[in-house]
Structure 1
Amino acid sequence: MAFEKIFKAGCFLFLGLVTMTQEVSSQDSDADSVLIHPFPLHCNFGCPVKKGEKHPEIYPNQLFTMGLLDDGKPGHWLAYYVTTTLLKERDERRAENKDPSLSILSDTTTLTPDFFWGNKSPAWNKLLVMEERLAEEPGIANAFVITGTLRHHTDVVSAETGGPSQDSLWKIISINTTAHAFVSAFIFPKGSEEAENYCSYLVDVAEIERETGLLFFPLSNLIDPVQSPDYFKNLAPHIECP
């Protein structure tokens, strides 16, 4: 996976997003409410909001941010980012505990919803590895990830368990360079537990928005109008998908 040709002219400006959040916080309270304090960078261009609303309902944690369900409990979606620092710390914990299964969020497993761990398919696990590879690419500081269950935001109840149906999982991965944001989205439906290739489950972000009732990247309106029409690019070719 070679990013050098695509990103050689620009590197990711980590301070750019920090500056962006500072600029927004100086605006009116509605705009400020979209930010995730005190960990705004878990969500690229702001954490998702429900359509028709301005305020994200969130549960922040040092390593991730979760969206709240209608009953106020966390677990609607989970946002986190992958960095080389987090990967190094994870590798140290793996060596210390002799447990290669530990993830970057393993210190918070009691708080992390089950869907973070996916459907255990080879495809899902390969996508986790790809997130790490993205974060380790030259010029990339963070791989941003948002994931959750496809419950159509009306919380369809499962007849078998009496709880919300969680047959399908979704994931949105994004990275930033100085000139563009690169994004890919996936839906892993029921029956994909044995899947080998995550590329088969690529979808448009708009499809997940329709299914969940969420609006992603709510702060994208802060992008320079001259850049915005062509700012978001397809990440798929750079994660080994056609």
Structure 2
Amino acid sequence: MTQTEYKIYIDKIVERIERARILVSEHHIVKVVAVSKYVDTEAVKALYAIGQRAFGENKVQDMKTKMETLEDLPLEWHFIGSLQKNKINQLIDLDPFLMQSLHSLELAQALDKRLEAKGKTMECLLQINSAKEETKSGVMPEAASDIYAQIAESCPRIDLRGVMSIGAHTENNDHIKQSFETTRKIFDGLKGAEICSMGMSGDFELAIACGSTMVRLGSLLFPGR
């Protein structure tokens, strides 16, 4: 795919996002995070060249490698994977723009302790397992509001900006929609929350319809990679 063809392809995706956004409200804003975990730095550069700035990685080491290789570009890095406690210090040193996958109070407390030791802060989203699936990380929806408040109160080095969730793993759109609506309802009840990150390549339009303000797109933005 040539640069021109790629630009046309991406523009069509942007049009789909715009249509979904406007159906919610002309004032509704949706940010796109390009999930670059399966692609190389050349693919990131190609997307950067046509205007994309926010990129997401699942593994600390992969993020470190890409950040170092692309340090001359003004990129915004999001950590979206499951963080192991032995990688906390490494993630803090990378200073990501946003840590989207804070999946438990225990992890938040461990992260806050290391942040304090390093004299740093980190902006995070609380991950909610809105579909209650065993294969996914995240707090249960019925406990999410309380845990969010506990983190806000007991972890001063963590700046909670909102929530993140992954849609139900099913072909049933009603179930996927229900999982998104669950997350959005929790988000609406949180004091000071600004970001509701939900929706990926296969369900982002439905997520936006349910109130997502940030979508994480991988395979859709990197065709053939």
Structure-1-length-normalised TM-score? 0.30
Q: Which structure has the highest helix share of the two?
A: 2
